[in-house]
Structure 1
Amino acid sequence: MIGPTCSSGARAGAPILWNAGMASVAFGATAPALTAADRPDGFKGFLRVVPNDLLGAAFVAKYVSEELGVKTVATIHDGSPYTEQLVKASRRAWASLAARWWRARRSRRPTPTCVRC
């Protein structure tokens, strides 16, 4: 199957598809846990054609720190698998640059994106 388009949908659907004998190939689900080496068996049939958020977070942190000169960062996220893992990846990336991570806050109101597919 081609899809889903987001990490929340992949987290919910990939095990169901794999248990039915179907692999899924996602083009927008970037949460690192979906393809981590220690992921549950239900995610073994999940593939993606885009890099995960560890790479994206490292790139953005380096660019913002080195090119824009920003040394302190804060984030707001909606609590979805995508944003929670992106915040964790970003925090690690910023720590590797010796930059200051100020705060990660969860919004009380989820955004109307792919929070609950």
Structure 2
Amino acid sequence: MLETAREVTHGDLAAFLLLTGMWRGEAVELKWDAVDFGRGIATVRATRSISGKRVYEGTPKTKQSRRGVPLTSEALALLRHVQAINIERHAALYAHASAFPYVFPKMCLRSLRGHCWPSGTPSSGS
């Protein structure tokens, strides 16, 4: 399943969700400064959800949602791969802009919707 996820555009997000158990809305709000490669932890500090045409971004709703998510060696390798791709793309497209702080582009949810989640699945983002 992980191999299949990586074959689609932005499939790294789907693979990351499978490896970590994070919610979609947590993963698309994950920033690089919340990833501790040394300790193998991703800290959930924010979430993103969609209701109709409205997008909501903010802190997690509950205390339990604000947590550190352990990262396996496979998840860490995936993040290193994503980081290398992001650096390469950013340099090519935005040479004079500061680095993009997010791990995954927010538009990736839209491109994955047709591949990973059935059309009847609510697209709440979390």
Answer yes or no: same fold by TM over 0.5.
no
Q: Which has the larger radius of gyration?
A: 1
Answer 1 or 2: higher relative contact order, Cα 8 Å, separation at least 6.
2
TM-score (norm 1): 0.32
